[in-house]
Amino acid sequence: MDGGGACKALSFATRRAVMAGAIGCVAALSLPGCGPTEARVLRTAEFHPLDYPTSRALLDMGHRIEAYSGGKLSLKLYAGEQLGSERDTLEMATFGGIDLTRVALAPLNAIEPLTFVPGLPFLFRDEAHMRRAMDGAPGERILRSLEPHGLIGLCFYDSGARSMYNVRGPIRSPDDMRGLKVRVQNSDLYVGLIEALGANATPMPLGEIYQALVQGVIDGAENNLPSYEGERHFEAAPFYSNTRHVIAPEVLAMSRVTWQRLSASEREIVLRSARESVPVMRRLWDAKVEDARAALVAGGVQFNEIDEIEAFVEQVKPIRRQFVTTPEQERLVAEIEEMA
């Protein structure tokens, strides 16, 4: 198992080589002619850098895979945007160009309507509610819903609560959002959410936000503390307002092409290792949130609480009607709400 190196964004040629299974692998899983005695390497994409909780959880999973398979299976992690955006890596996984990818729900929204549900604003009461629901039947249903789209959902990782931040000043009520240009993830749900709050939504990849803030292309964005700190957005947008409007999990998915090439016992090893990495990830996540908070306070960020969150909740209510349109989605929402 391997951390994948520190360099960002591999060249196009190198990316193609990864997809062909030729980089750092004894023999890539998806290559024909991979003999039974050779180690099989699961090529895994992660947007975040190597020290981010999701990356560290994937490394933990890799150790488990190697140990449980007696070294016959291993995981090679391409962290730090090496294989491109989450959207890119999702596409690669879908056609079997890579074996595993960790993505947010946003890039899955366009392919599977059930994935809208955990991203609905103000659905989860807190992180514990989200964890309970994703560990239970609602989470299982969402993971299973990915299979017809060429993906095997293995587990959920945490992403904490997302809040608003911007260059101008504290946001205390939806009125303060009016006219702000706010970056969103590329999904109609997040565009709808920001526009319902009276701001202008600008979809763009995470990696482009810093420059866009500095150049005044956008006035703000929304994210959890680790991404806000890790991507250095606070340097340009030092007002972080605790709206906690979305507490969505993230997904670790395997390419169905890869899954179909695994034996039953290999599948069990992969699934077990993924599931066992979840509590590890959660511990790392909770610690990372506190570290990020301390670094942000030291970095001069001005935090503010929202006294009347009801005003935000009211204003985004139409979002549910817009994105929850099937009986299956409605059932999922009801079931999650019952677990509050």
Write the burial class of residue 242 (CB in 10 Å: 0-12 exposed, 13-18 middle, 19+ buried): middle
Among 109, 115, 223, 258, binds ligand GTR (CB under 6 A): 223
Q: Tell me if 134 sits within 8 A of 105, measured CB to CB.
A: no
Residue 89 is a binding residue for ligand GTR (CB under 6 A) = no
83 interacts with ligand GTR by CB under 6 A: no
Q: Both tokens of residue 81?
A: 């945007």
Closer to ligand GTR by Cβ: residue 4 or 21: 4
What are the φ/ψ torsions at residue 247 (nearest 5 degrees)?
Answer: -125, 70
Residue 192 to residue 205: CA distance in whole angstroms: 17
| Residue with smaller CB distance to ligand GTR, 55 or 329 | 55
Residues 55-74 that bind ligand GTR (CB under 6 A): none
If one asks whether residue 104 binds ligand GTR (CB under 6 A), the answer comes out as yes
- The residue at minimum Cβ distance from ligand GTR is 104
* Minimum CB–partner distance for residue 38 and ligand GTR (Å): 33
Give whichever of 256 and 288 is closer to ligand GTR, judged by the CB atom.
Answer: 288
- Helix, strand, coil content of the chain in percent (nearest 5): 50, 20, 35
Whether the CB-CB separation of 202 and 123 falls below 8 Å is answered with: no
Least Å distance, CB 104 to ligand GTR, is 3
C-alpha–C-alpha distance, residues 140 and 268, integer Å: 16
Q: Mask of contacts with ligand GTR, 225-244, x by CB under 6 A?
A: --x-----------------
127 interacts with ligand GTR by CB under 6 A: no
Q: x/- binding map, residues 202-221, to ligand GTR, per CB under 6 A?
A: ----x---------------
Alpha carbons 302 and 299: distance in angstroms, whole number: 9
Query: Are the beta carbons of 140 and 209 closer than 8 angstroms?
Result: no
Give the span between the Cα atoms of 116 and 137, in whole angstroms: 16
**Identity of the residue, 76 or 288, whose beta carbon is nearer to ligand GTR in the bound complex:** 288
Note whether 109 binds ligand GTR by CB under 6 A: no
Residues of this chain that bind ligand GTR (CB under 6 A): 47, 86, 104, 106, 159, 185, 206, 223-224, 227, 250
